[in-house]
Amino acid sequence: MLEVVDQMADLDSRQLIWGSLRTILKSDHQMPAHIKRVRRQEAEAQKAQEDLRAEVRYLQERVDEVEHLAKEKVVDIRSLQNALHKEEFTSAGLKVALALEEERRKESKKRVTKLETQMAKLILEVMTQTMEEFKTSSEIRNLNVEFGQKAFIKDFELCEGRVA
């Protein structure tokens, strides 16, 4: 920069004016191009900014939608967890009831087996007692006598048939 100032000091005023004028004319010629470029860049920047704002709005809407869906899912999950807890509680109750019923069934089966054994013993005792009573009863004596008489008569008739 110092060199430029030194060169300008060495120039006469006429050369200095013409140099300055030439610089101004060059810059005036380039100014509209720079202005157009700046305006175009401003327009592009504004368009990019609007696009970004639209993208931000869209993404915010998506975030809101996802948050809403997440809240609904949390409610659904809680509802399902409550239902699961109720089902687990019910299942536990049913398991306890089933175990109790199984125990009652085993006890009933033991009682039935015991009663069947007792009944078989009683039937055997009753049959034995009935048979003993029948053997000692007058009815069996009469039957034995009657059978003996019939057998004797048959044998007698058979013997007579052989003798004759």
pLDDT band at 134 (very low <50, low <70, confident <90, very high): confident
Comparing 80-94, 110-124, 130-144, 147-161, the range with the smallest average pLDDT is 130-144
Stated pTM of the model: 0.40
Q: Residue 151 has what pLDDT?
A: 86
Element (H, E) at 74: helix 13-136
Better-scored residue on pLDDT, 12 or 153: 153
Range of the domain at 91: 2-163
Average pLDDT over residues 43-55: 92
Q: What b/e readout covers 94-121, taking b as 16+ CB neighbours within 10 angstroms?
A: eeeeeeeeeeeeeeeeeeeeeeeeeeee
Nearest of 144, 93, 136, 76 to residue 101 by alpha carbon: 93
- 75-121: per-residue pLDDT in tens? 999 999 999 999 999 999 999 999 999 999 999 999 999 999 999 99
Q: How many domains does the chain have?
A: 1
- Contacts of 8 by beta carbon, 8 Å cutoff, 6+ apart: 16, 19
Q: Residue 141 has what pLDDT?
A: 81
